[in-house]
Amino acid sequence: MAFQPRPLFPERSARDLYGSDLRRYREAAGLSLSQLGEVLKFSKAHLSRIETAESLPPKGLSEKLDAAFGTDGHFCRLFPLAALEEFPNRYRRYMELAAQAALLESYTEIVHGLLQTPAFATAALRAGDPFASDEEINQKVAARIKQQARLHGSTPPRYWFIMDEVALRRPVGDSLIMRDQMQALLNTAELRHVTLQILPFAAGYHSETGGSLTLLTLSGRSVVAYEEGSRSGTLIEENGIVAKCQAYYDLLRAQALSPRDSLAVIGTALKGFEHAARSVAEE
């Protein structure tokens, strides 16, 4: 069966339009992604992700595209609009709602993005996409850290984080990164609008094993749910399914350690990574 490129949806956003026009001009020039990558001195994989709006076009690419296709500044004019859209279309609706929520409740198997240090975020994103360019990773880290502004703002919403114990045990990056991340968790947990719990290994297999669940309580007390796997996410707004997600979350909350005991477990993890960091420094 002949290869079929992924369909594009230029009508969805400026970011999608940028990618669609990139493919349109590329195909009109009779160039494959590999050939265009050679012309631009650019990664084929990165170009592919830009075409499908998975990655933002980096600075400097638009000028190269206009020069290669003779498009008289078309991509340079489109770039500022595309650059405003930090997240792919499938996440954008969720991000918009999260920015409005009065209460965010989440379960994750890794340190939640709102709680990550820049170094941890960089290591996690690099591990999740080992073929991405440094610029792609830096863009994603900057977008992730920007989302933390509301958590630390003057009038923040309420946050309730449940993290799996594996988030404290599986290293992301080196022991220094994990040490600083554990300390950051303890610092954030001291905020009055934040509740942090650890779901211990003893809780066993549960409804969200292998994924994550977020509940957003909006104005008027309406609630939406968001479930995410390693490569995709689903926004749930149907009342009946949202109610089930709330029940799942309540069970996780009941099985998790108390906030006080959770902080003790994080403190123990911190000491372990501090010891590991000292050992490495002494070698």
For residue range 122-136, list pLDDT tens digits in order. Answer: 999 999 989 888 988
In order of their start, the domains of the chain are 14-83 (1.10.260.40), 89-282 (3.30.870)
Per the prediction, the chain carries an average pLDDT of: 90
3-state secondary structure of 263: helix
pLDDT recorded at residue 221:
79
* Higher pLDDT among residues 85 and 161, named by residue: 161
Residue 231 carries which DSSP code? S
pLDDT recorded at residue 9:
78
pLDDT digits (tens, 9 = 90+) for 72-84: 999 999 998 888 7
pTM for the model stands at 0.73
Type of residue numbered 198: I
Q: What is the mean pLDDT of residues 167-186?
A: 96
**pLDDT > 70 fraction of the chain, expressed in percent and rounded:** 95
Which residues are registered as beta bridge partners of 108? 163
pLDDT digits (tens, 9 = 90+) for 261-282: 999 999 999 999 999 988 888 7
Reply yes or no on whether the pLDDT at 98 is more than 80.
yes
Rounded Cα–Cα distance for residues 105 and 160 (Å): 5
Which residues are registered as beta bridge partners of 104? 159, 216
How is the chain split among helix, strand and coil, in percent rounded to 5?
55, 10, 35
Question: Cα angle vertex 206, ends 241, 202, to 5°?
Answer: 150
For 128, residues 6+ apart whose C-beta sits below 8 A from its C-beta are 230
Q: Sign of the C-alpha dihedral, residues 49, 50, 54, 58?
A: positive
pLDDT band with cut points at 50, 70 and 90 for residue 1: very low
Query: Chain-centre distance of CA 165, in angstroms?
Result: 20
pLDDT recorded at residue 46:
85
Reply yes or no on whether the pLDDT at 34 is more than 90.
yes
Please report which residue ranges of 56-211 form alpha helices under DSSP H. Answer: 61-69, 74-83, 89-98, 118-128, 134-146, 166-169, 175-189
pLDDT recorded at residue 219:
77
Reply yes or no on whether the pLDDT at 205 is more than 60.
yes
